Structure formats: C-alpha cells, structure tokens
Amino acid sequence: MWINAAVDIQGSELVMQRGRRKFLKVIGGTSVILAAGAGGWVATRAPERARLPWTEAGRVYADPMRNALSYAILAPNPHNRQPWLVDLKSDTEATLFCQLNRLLPETDPFNRQITIGLGCFLEIFGIAAAESGYRAEIDIFPEGSNARTLDARAIAHIRLVEDTTQKKDPLFTAILNRRTNRTVFDETRNIAQSDLDAIDRSGRGAVRVSVLNDARSIASLKEIGWQASLVETKTPEKHGESVGLMRIGKDEIEKAPDGISLGGPFLEVANRIGYVTRESLADPASGAFAESLDYMRPLNETAGAFIILATAENNRVSQIEAGRDYVRANLTATVLGISMQPHSQALQEYNEMKDLYRRIHAAFAEEGETLQMLARIGYGTAVPPAPRWALDTRIVAG
Ligand SMILES: Cc1cc2nc3c(=O)[nH]c(=O)nc-3n(C[C@H](O)[C@H](O)[C@H](O)COP(=O)(O)O)c2cc1C
C-alpha cells in the first residue's frame, strides 16, 4: 500500500522520488502507521476537484467560445500560474489579458516565459476551435506591447468564425493527454529518428525548432541544465519565489490549484510531521532541501534528446510564437508516446544566471537568436494531470 501511495506523488513538480529511501528512514514509524490501516485515507488524497477541468473540457459548454477556452486553460505555462484572464464579449468574441499578479518577477523578470505560456494557450484555443468547425482569428497585442514588462493592454483579441472548410488539426487528440513529465526517462529506449523528425517539424514556421540528439549536445545540455538548477536553487530570492508557490497536500492544492503542487499521501505525511514544509524546502541546511536536489538530479541526467526553440527577435510576438510552437511540439510528442519536460533555468535573465545564459546561447543559438525554450524528451512514466483553476474563474464578463 505504501508503494501505491508513493506512485501517486508523480504529479508533483518537486517530489522526492529518489530520496524516498532516505526519507522513509526518517518517517519509518509513520509508514508503519499507514501500512496498519490508513488505506482509506490514502485513497482520498488525489486532488480530484483540481483536476476536474481535464474531464470537463469540451463537455460542459455548448457555445463555441467557452468550449474552445475549456481546452485552452489546459495549456502548459510556467509554474502553472495560469495567468490568462478572458474578457468575454459574446459566444464568438473575447479579449485575452494577462492577470498581472500572476507574474514571476524573480525568475522571469521580463515576463518572457509568462508570454510563452499565453502563446501555448492561444495555440490550444485555435486547435480546439478548429475541431468544432471554427476558424480562430487571433490578433496579437492589438494595442501594442512593452518588451520589458507586460501591462494591462490586451494580449490578443480573439474572434471565432464559422468555417466549414476549416481543417481539423490531428494534435487535438493529444490535448487531454499532454503532460509535463517530471519522471526519470528510460535511457535504454532510443527514440526513432522518424519521431524526432516529426517533433522537429511540428512548428508553424516562425520559430526555429530543433531536436538535438547527438551525444555531445546531450551531454552539454545536461551539464548546463544541472548547473543552472543549482544556481536557481541556491539563490534565495529565486528559489524563494518557487517555494512561495508550493501547494503542499490536497487541501492546499484544491484551494489554489496553481503553482507547484506537492501532492500525494507520501508528501502529505512528510508535511504533517514537519519534514517537508515551505520552510524546510527553503532552507539549504535541511534534509528536505538536500533530497529535493537528489530528486532533481536524474531529471537533468536522463534525456533521449533535447529540443530547443529559438527566435531571431525577442519581442512579444516572437514569444507568443514560441509558446504556440512549444505546445505543438509537446502535443506531437504526446501523440507519439514521448514525454517532455522544459528545463528553463539556463534561459532565465537574471544576474546570477548570466554566465550559463551566455554559455547556452554561445553553444546552441545562431547569431542574434534568443533561446526561448529548452526541454528534454524521452520515455518517462505516466503522470496525472496538473491542477487547473476552473474556467469560470478565468473569465470576466465584458
Ligand atoms: C515557458 C515555460 C517554462 C517552463 N519551465 C519549466 C521548467 O523549467 N521545469 C519544469 O519542470 N516545467 C516547466 N514548465 C512546465 C510547467 O511547469 C507546466 O506546464 C505547468 O506546471 C502545468 O503542468 P502541465 O504542463 O502538466 O499541464 C514550463 C512551461 C512553460 C510554458
């Protein structure tokens, strides 16, 4: 039963998969208590309410706008902040805004990654609209934008136009199964070249999408990625931003289904006995901090290949395009049974990261390009869907 309970933890961004053995020593007594009869409790720990949007998508809303939006809110986005806010004008017209208290000022100082997440949202919106026979006309930053910071201006005006000639996108079938997969990837399985090629070709054309699977690039990206994870984890304000967004246990996750969710009975017990808390995870001297690094290491070390997305300009429109192409690559991989996890740390624009940012650009960007996304790909184990706020909470009626 303990083993089953532990399997549940895989949806968390920061679970102690590797550190489990060490951790079990610490809470040996507690595991005996669980084994002795807490099976009923264990079975109730999945944050089902926070996962409802994944089962409600496409089923609850009759109008084409809400129907497409019910899929769009499942888009990948940094730290699962779900910054989208939709001003609904009618069943076919809406304006997308960014909710400005959902930014990540420490790790994403220019809101570049938040913008990429909004691009993912718009791409899924368009794919879902096409599925029900609508063409999504998306006008990006209609009132202009600021390259240093997002502001109250619209991210996009969206109009749905009924169009019987609209081609459906085969990636639609992957929207509900897409995940960010933070498990150890099986390096004994090679990814077929044809699958790598399909991911390489999945973009819309405005972004350079490249799959890298030569041994040298993989080794270099693993090393840079790990160094960057260490820099971020050991820079208190940067790590503190993530720790502040942690939701530990079912109650916290269901109350605020965003941020970094640490769920499952294993982590709930660890939290209840005071071992895994926001304080211990922020404290470099704690066991929980050390075990979280143990957990992260194999996530850097196992990759069948990496994917990078690079743009010639680094403006808001190219960041939206990068998001649209990132989610297309993620959906394409999903169709092929291949897992994906972004590794964004080395691409982040803050002082402590400068050297690694320079290194990764020198090695993998072409002249003048900005690397917008880096992700590892491979064969992970299945993970449950990440929490989402219900669609109604993301809509403001205009
Ligand atoms: C721009 C961007 C950067 C991201 N960076 C990371 C990252 O560095 N590490 C990671 O594990 N996930 C990263 N993610 C994935 C998000 O954390 C994930 O999409 C979110 O938690 C929701 O989970 P889901 O993709 O499974 O729906 C990133 C996603 C985006 C769009």
Question: Is the pLDDT confidence value at 351 over 80?
Answer: yes
Question: What average pLDDT does the structure give for the chain?
Answer: 91
Cβ(342)–Cβ(180) below 8 Å: yes
| Out of 6-20, 262-276, 311-325, least confident range | 6-20
Domains and CATH numbers, the chain: 1-398 (3.40.109.10)
Q: What is the pLDDT of residue 192?
A: 97
Q: What is the pLDDT of residue 22?
A: 59
| Whether the CB of 80 sits within 6 Å of ligand 1 | yes
| Whether the CB of 113 sits within 6 Å of ligand 1 | yes
Q: What is the pLDDT of residue 146?
A: 96
Q: How confident is the model at residue 312 (pLDDT cuts 50, 70, 90)?
A: very high
State the Cα–Cα distance between residues 50 and 196, nearest whole angstrom.
33
C-alpha 363, offset from chain centre = 25
For ligand 1, what atom is nearest to the CA of residue 114? 1
Read off the pTM. Answer: 0.93
**What percent helix, strand, coil does the chain show, rounded to 5?**
50, 15, 35
CA distances 376 to 143, 212, 307, Å, are 36, 10, 6
State the Cα–Cα distance between residues 6 and 174, nearest whole angstrom.
27
State the Cα–Cα distance between residues 313 and 302, nearest whole angstrom.
31
Could you tell me which residues are beta bridge partners of residue 252? none
pLDDT tens digits, one per residue of 260-275: 999 888 889 899 999 9
Q: How confident is the model at residue 3 (pLDDT cuts 50, 70, 90)?
A: very low
Q: What is the pLDDT of residue 37?
A: 58
| Out of 8-22, 182-196, 266-280, least confident range | 8-22
Average pLDDT, integer, range 135-140: 98
In this structure, the residue with its CA closest to atom 1 of ligand 1 is 113
C-alpha 225 – ligand 1 centre gap (Å): 15
Question: Is the pLDDT confidence value at 4 over 90?
Answer: no
Share of the chain above pLDDT 70, in %: 90
State the Cα–Cα distance between residues 172 and 195, nearest whole angstrom.
18
The conformation of residue 9, written as its DSSP 8-state character, comes to: G
Range list of H helices, the chain? 2-7, 20-26, 28-37, 39-43, 48-56, 64-72, 112-131, 193-200, 215-234, 236-244, 249-255, 265-272, 278-282, 287-301, 316-335, 354-364
